Amino acid sequence: MFKDLFHKKKYATVPSERPKRDIPEGLMNKCAKCGNIQYSKELEKNLKVCSSCGHHFRLNAWERIQMIMDDGRLTEFDADMLSEDPLGFPGYADKLEQQKMSSGLKDAVVTGEGEIGGFPVVVAVMSFDFFSGSMGSVVGEKITRAIEQAHEKQLPVIIFSTSGGARMQESILSLMQMAKTSAALAKFQGAGGLFISVMTDPTMGGVTASFASLGDYNLAEPGALVGFAGRIVIEQTIRQKLPDNFQTAEFNMQHGQLDMVVHRKEMKSVLTKLLDMHMVKEVVPHGG
Amino acid sequence: MAGELSFEKPLSELRNKIDELKRFGQEKGIDFTDEINRLEQRYAQLEQELYSELTPAQKMHLARHHQRPTSLDFIQTVFTDFLEVHGDRLFADDLAIVGGLAKLNGIPVTVIGHQRGKDTKDNIARFFGSPHPEGFRKALRLMQQADKFKRPIITFIDTKGAYPGNTAEERGQSEAIARNLREMATFGVPIICVVIGEGGSGGALALGVGNRVLMLENAIYSVISPNGAASILWKDASKADQAAEAMKITAKDLKDFGIVEEIIPEPRGGAHRNLEQQADSIKDALWRHLQELSAMTPDALVEDRYMKFRKIGIYASAAASSGEAGKDEEQLTEPIETAPL
């Protein structure tokens, strides 16, 4: 029929068995922010920063360790510590297993000792790909132990945070990790220890409201979401739309909450400079 | 009963029945004494059954009861000579947190608490007891002052959580909470915290780093409100009762976890049934713990508080630890390897 010419053909959508991908796995990557498609190898050479818009892709703990530690080397602490299911929380044990499988990690933080720019440091690196980087007993304990190790060995501590917040499935135990890690920092910093906090996308809730905000220097990667309450909760409370840049690193710096926003390419050199500034222990004598 | 909760309905129905029978007997001049006594007995039994085995969800509703005494109610009944002071010296006076000086059995103390409103207007002024950064900073200022003048610090915890607003974020809600957690760990004076109603999340913990944490029998304390947890986990905030069960939020749960030192009993039916009686038992508990803590040196108090929180956490750890750090780490962490249960 003539009329049929103007009708669009209708196709039924058949859900595909495999998750939909625009490009063959691993070869290309699409920027979540600008949509630019780039070769994975190029992206990696660029430290996983979009060459077109500068968007910082999320890194997992080991990618970041590779990037920031001298020779990518770290002597790991507490590599075998595992989460339990202390509340018998519905579904938690299964979810833990599934997260271990999908991320290849044992929990949401890797801690250890190594060098940055030739300076020995203790680092804790969180990973968003394990349980949204949530803090339960293991994350709290590993970070506290790392701070204690640094205290004992008189080394600086650098924590790279990324977290959705506290791990609900451990309820009050996860809340108390905020107090535990902050108290460990009180001891360490009170004794003259240097703590540099680096917040990466996203750092929210109980992690921001404890150790991540307590750096002698608070740094963040460009565009990183850093805040306490989530945007949706706030929008529901105040019944207003929030601006696009709300809770970004730049927004936080503008409001006096951060010392610096540091591009991933500059991160290692900025950390090295900061470490260097704290290595001289004697006070310069008065000049005549 | 005024302000009854749904699970208390059977009690009030029985009470109505007893009252009706009494009235009817008087009007008609019939002696129902036996029947009334029987019903009173039944009432006492029912009351006993109902309140001795409250579910976590029922406790949650009692903890949130609109007539439940607030921090100011307890401050005025437990202490004498309360002098409220205001402001964080930086931005504003947040009415969601109250604080000041008071005397406990004649001893000057600093007392601070989250403050819910008594009615809608009061609640709006006090942000329903959910502090902004200036509230936490006011509390910190008062605690630093207490540390300077060697006064014990007593806090009352009663909040759904820190206020989730854009201006709170702009002024550093996270930093304000984090700083309180760190600084509370450093004070050389006794700190006693009492969870009197709802202890919600970081906003509660920001007044909660004490040598002793006490909890009223029906109070709750959790990382996120059961409503919040339900909406995140099951995309349904109305499943709060279910979440309350799963999240282990009651005073007994927290005592089992070693987070709470003592459960302060409530009058039958909840704290709102008898403020004076409740204030007395809080005062009694505070005084006992304060006497114990007052015997300790400032350094010992700091260490005691550190160890209290240092021990909290339940995890599994394989004996063999890889890497060079193994030895040091084993030494360092030996005493805390077994988590409290």
Q: pLDDT tens across B199-252, in order?
A: 999 999 999 999 999 999 999 999 998 988 888 888 888 888 999 999 999 999
Q: Residues of B with CB below 8 A from A186's CB? A: 182-183, 185-186
* Number of Cβ within a 10 Å radius of residue A62: 16
B334 interfacial to chain A (CB closer than 8 Å): no
Contact A237 B318 (CB under 8 A): no
Residue B303 has which token pair? 């260490």
Please classify residue A196 by burial: count the beta carbons closer than 10 Å to its beta carbon, then call 0-12 exposed, 13-18 middle and 19+ buried.
Answer: buried
pLDDT at A202 over 90: yes
**Chain B interface mutation, best of A82, A154, A210, A228, highest count of B Cβ atoms under 10 Å:** A228
CB-CB: which of B202, B222, B328 is closest to A209? B202
Could you tell me if the ipTM is greater than 0.85? yes
Residue A188: closest C-alpha in chain B: B182
**C-alpha distance from A218 to closest chain B C-alpha (Å):** 11
- Closest to A197 measured CA to CA, from B161, B203, B178, B165: B178
B251 interfacial to chain A (CB closer than 8 Å): no
**C-alpha distance from A62 to closest chain B C-alpha (Å):** 16
Give the pLDDT confidence score for residue B29 in this predicted structure. 85
Handedness of CA B262, B185, A132, B332 (dihedral sign): negative
**C-alpha distance from B59 to closest chain A C-alpha (Å):** 16
pLDDT at A288 over 60: no
pLDDT at B339 over 50: no
Contact B313 A89 (CB under 8 A): no
Query: Residue holding tokens 């220890």?
Result: A193
Q: Residues of B with CB below 8 A from A257's CB? A: 172, 174-175
Give the pLDDT confidence score for residue A26 in this predicted structure. 75
Give the DSSP H/E element, type plus range, for residue A38: strand A37-39
Handedness of CA B152, B158, B160, B164 (dihedral sign): negative
Contact B316 A84 (CB under 8 A): yes
Contact A227 B169 (CB under 8 A): yes
- Closest to B181 measured CA to CA, from A60, A133, A175: A175
Contact A166 B165 (CB under 8 A): no
**How far is the C-alpha of B255 from the C-alpha of B264, rounded, in Å?**
11
**How far is the C-alpha of B257 from the C-alpha of B313, rounded, in Å?**
9
Q: How many percent of chain A have pLDDT more than 90?
A: 84
CB pairs under 8 A between A and B: 222
Question: Which of A115-119, A164-168, B45-49, B110-114 has the weakest average pLDDT?
Answer: B45-49
Cβ-contact B188, B293 below 8 angstroms? no
Contact B316 A237 (CB under 8 A): no
**How far is the C-alpha of B241 from the C-alpha of B246, rounded, in Å?**
9
